[in-house]
Structure 1
Amino acid sequence: MENAQRESKMTVGHYGGKFIPFHKGHLYAITKAAAQVDKLYVLVSYDEERDRKLCKEAGLDYIDFKRRQQWITTSVKNMSNVTVLAVEEPYSPDAEYMWMEGGRKMLEAIPEQITHIFSSESEYDTWFKRIYGEGVIHVVIDEAREIFPISATKIRNEGIYANWDMIPEAAKPYYTKKVAIVGVESCGKSTLTRNLAQLFGTEYVEEYGRTVSEEIGDGSSLLTEEHYKEIVFGHKHMEYQKLKKANKLLFIDSEAVVTQYYAKMYFGCELPFIEGAIQAQDYDLYLFLEPDVKWVADGYRTFSDPVVREQTNALLKKMFEERGIEFVSISGNYEERLDRSIAQITSLITK
């Protein structure tokens, strides 16, 4: 009897939306709602055709419902009374049908009797009473958007990067643009990578091949196949770690095509596992640095002859072209390279 009374007093809340995209206003509403009920169910509603259209119109890549659900789940993982579900709901120009049928699907998905429903729109009250009944309490959270002045519509209209501070940490890696700085040896890749990261206030990934070469102590000529595995997978691991901390952009010094190039030059052949890594890459911009700056000896570099530099440069370019990877050629002195790179990157994050 006592357990039944305790169960009857349990408050169960519901907060739903499309979350295209998920933002801090949503997270604030979820946090506030979770503090007001014993259990809170957050429901991600989805209709693939509608969602693809919304993303396309906003210039966003399609954000599937599982990714949205994961972002919210990660963001609320320390809120023990919050459960995040996904519900496919009908999309129709008929508002009556969409609200009532969508509401029915929500009720089916939540395994307990709802006592509270949360939103940021008081105008939803009429619909909620029809769907959930007069006994359910509608709580409106920050309707004026005073705490977090943001909405998904605003982000879709203005762009992700114009509203970067309103994107929750769990979602930022997905939107972070990855810029690969590539080229043959002694073309200024490492210097440019560090400088760009400093200027844009973000993270960068060092060339892992250099790290491994320095560890074995005698340059690239003694690298074995196992070393190349360490370079490829170690570099990718570093990339994933830095991506979690990056600010809009992540700069990568070299990548798997460059590693394959070095394998071909020093090991004598291309390695299949590196090719697999190349196929899995998804960089947003490749800046290919031409070898038109002074060659600098550092104990690990080999191809100082100008003719050989041009030949190796042509080989690396061909390797990118054969794989259908587009790149932007960057040439000139160090100042010109910096300015041209900044122009390309600025265009990338203002689209």
Structure 2
Amino acid sequence: MRFGTGVVIGKFLPPHRGHRLLIETAIGASEQVTVIVCGKPSDPIPAELRGVWLQEIHPTARVMVIDDRYDENDSQVWAENTMQWLGRAPDAVFTSESYGDRYAGFMGSVHVNVDQRRERVPISGTAVRSDPYANWEYLEPPVRGWFAKRVCVLGAESTGTTTLACDLARAFQTEWVEEYGREYSVTKMASGEAWRTDEFPVIAREQTRREDAAARRANRVLICDTNAFATALWHRRYVGGTNSELDSIAQQVRCDLYLLTGDEIPFVQDGLRDGEHIRHQMHGWFVEALDRQSVPWRLVQGSQAERLRQGRIQISSLFTDSSWMPGAAFPGTAWRL
């Protein structure tokens, strides 16, 4: 049966694969679908953001965000408000809930029940909120980007940040974001020009953009080889002082853990590095800056294998409240720290 207008209503807190099934069913059976997102100021994820996610996932649907100020058990009130929001009664209501018949009935609409027993997609918003990492497979990419833990490996020149970031990403079978500043430096060195303060916000914004994109593809944790916070210290190194625009970007950085690589290993010249004389001093700058901010940080030292072991331990501690543990990323193998 084909309907003219269909409506899907819910909290979508957060959107998951069950919601995708529900909305795609409505889109497939209706000429026009309106998705109503109900939100409260106390919601852990803003309703406006959930609406943006749903619009991205379902670009042909009309997404509407409303204030959830009504008794959730009063189907008549919800029906009356729905007709007011839409300007008419919808031809069909698509739900996976027991209230669907009453809600649709008060509007004279057809109720289409979609997978109420959660047999096709065994997930619920409650389960996701309780443990998003154990239910990762049911999350949409923008939702994964929201929940993914972000770990930044940072340090002075030639202290093994890139090696550790790559090793950790491989160990956790996840995405990692390479240092954009290094890529930028290749072109910079070829030009022979001195560093300018206005270049560093450009680097920080691009680094952050790449992080946000990679977080959507991450397997629960995203490994970053530096971030905008670290870029502010590189500005101090090459230009001196601070840059207010750069500091503003750095203050908005999302990070759950910093891993600072020690400067006890030999300096290796790769053709781009020029800071052996200042490496130990810059390591001290990192320590001072990390102590001033609120994100947990740990110093990792030793051999490549020892640093990886230390990093694994610290990252695993981010998931102690989840039934999923990093060992789950290694089917058929034992997890050893």
Identify the TM-score tier after normalising by the shorter chain.
0.7 to 0.9
From the CA coordinates, give the structure whose radius of gyration is larger: 1
Unaligned ranges ≥5, structure 2 = 322-337
After superposition, the Cα gap between the structure-2 partners of 1:89 and 1:218, relative to the gap in structure 1 and judged at 3 Å, is closer
Q: Tell me how far apart the structure 1 counterparts of residues 233 and 104 of structure 2 sit (CA, whole Å).
A: 65
After superposition, the Cα gap between the structure-2 partners of 1:111 and 1:196, relative to the gap in structure 1 and judged at 3 Å, is same
User: Deviation digits for residues 68-105 of structure 1, max 9, x if unmatched?
Assistant: 1111111111x3xx322122233448x3xx33322322
Aligned length: 320
Q: Tell me how far apart the structure 2 counterparts of residues 316 and 263 of structure 1 sit (CA, whole Å).
A: 12
Unaligned ranges ≥5, structure 1 = 1-8, 53-61
Deviation (angstroms), 1:252: 1.4
Partner residue in 2 for 1:152: 125
Describe the SS at the equivalent of 1:145.
coil
Partner residue in 1 for 2:36: 43
User: Deviation digits for residues 2-45 of structure 1, max 9, x if unmatched?
Assistant: xxxxxxx9632222111112111111011112222222222112
After TM superposition, the structure 1 = structure 2 runs for residues 147-186 of structure 1, keeping only pairs within 5 Å, are 147-157=120-130, 159-186=131-158
Deviation (angstroms), 1:341: 1.0
Amino acid at match of 2:55: T
After superposition, the Cα gap between the structure-2 partners of 1:278 and 1:170, relative to the gap in structure 1 and judged at 3 Å, is closer
After superposition, the Cα gap between the structure-2 partners of 1:350 and 1:103, relative to the gap in structure 1 and judged at 3 Å, is farther
**2:305 matched to 1:332?**
no
Describe the SS at the equivalent of 2:142.
coil
Alignment check: 8 A CA contact 1:22 1:168 kept: yes
After superposition, the Cα gap between the structure-2 partners of 1:36 and 1:129, relative to the gap in structure 1 and judged at 3 Å, is closer
Alignment check: 8 A CA contact 1:212 1:227 kept: no
Deviation (angstroms), 1:243: 3.3
After superposition, the Cα gap between the structure-2 partners of 1:220 and 1:228, relative to the gap in structure 1 and judged at 3 Å, is farther
After superposition, the Cα gap between the structure-2 partners of 1:334 and 1:124, relative to the gap in structure 1 and judged at 3 Å, is same
Normalising by structure 1, we get a TM-score of 0.81
RMSD value, Cα: 2.7
Partner residue in 2 for 1:84: 63
- 2:54 aligned to 72, 77, 96, which one? 72
Amino acid at match of 1:124: Y
After TM superposition, the structure 1 = structure 2 runs for residues 47-62 of structure 1, keeping only pairs within 5 Å, are 47-49=40-42, 52=43, 62=44
After superposition, the Cα gap between the structure-2 partners of 1:151 and 1:223, relative to the gap in structure 1 and judged at 3 Å, is same
